[in-house]
């Protein structure tokens, strides 16, 4: 049984709860185990994944969080840099499903996070599982 670490930014707790429901359901449906750790925001997710990867305890990772556009340039920095950090780690061989939502408003986030709607948490978990399978296939 593989073990997946879900790394979540709890900035918007009610939205992350929905992302977590979807991610956990997808991982459990695949018969895999999971743990969850929490970080303050999306910018900390890549660092947490990198630190956890050094333990060799996890076969894959799911990044979950929500970044909603505000009135300043901060949205672009958080959205872009968190995605860049995750992509760099995947290029180093880690199996990561990116479920960090980058949206204009809370309504968009709710639609994407809810497990019975767009289920982006579940999709991120399935992406991590698919990458884990590919890594095993090419090993």
Asked if residue 10 belongs to a known ligand binding site, the reply is no
Strands (E), the chain: 3-9, 33-39, 60-68, 96-103
- Residue 72, marked binder: yes
39 appears as a binding residue in the annotation: no
Cα-to-chain-centroid distance, residue 65: 7
Buried b (16+ CB within 10 A) or exposed e, 82-92: bbebbeebbee
66 is in an annotated binding site: yes
Q: Which of 63, 86, 59, 56 is nearest to 4 (CA)?
A: 59
Ligand-binding site membership of 11 (annotated)? yes
Q: Which residues are annotated as catalytic?
A: 74
**Helix or strand or coil: residue 13?**
helix
- Known binding residue 37? Answer is no
On whether 42 is known to bind a ligand per the annotation, the reply is yes
Annotated binding residues, written as ranges, equal 11, 42-44, 66-68, 71-72, 98, 112
Binding residues for 5-amino-6-(D-ribitylamino)uracil: 11, 42-44, 66-68, 98
Annotated binding site for (2S)-2-hydroxy-3-oxobutyl phosphate: 71-72, 112
């Amino acid at each position: 049984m593989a073990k997946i670490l879900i790394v979540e930014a709890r900035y918007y707790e009610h939205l992350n709860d929905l992302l977590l429901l979807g991610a956990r359901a997808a991982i459990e449906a695949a018969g895999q185990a999971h743990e969850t750790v929490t970080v303050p925001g999306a910018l900390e997710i890549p660092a947490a994944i990198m630190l956890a990867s050094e333990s060799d305890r996890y076969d894959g990772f799911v990044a979950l969080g929500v970044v909603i556009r505000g009135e300043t340039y901060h949205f672009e920095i958080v959205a872009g840099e968190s995605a860049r950090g995750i992509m760099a780690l995947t290029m180093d061989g880690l199996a990561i499903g990116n479920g960090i939502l980058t949206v204009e408003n809370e309504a968009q986030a709710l639609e994407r996070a809810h497990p019975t709607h767009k289920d982006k948490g579940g999709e991120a978990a399935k992406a991590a599982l698919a990458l884990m399978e590919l890594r095993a296939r090419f090993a």
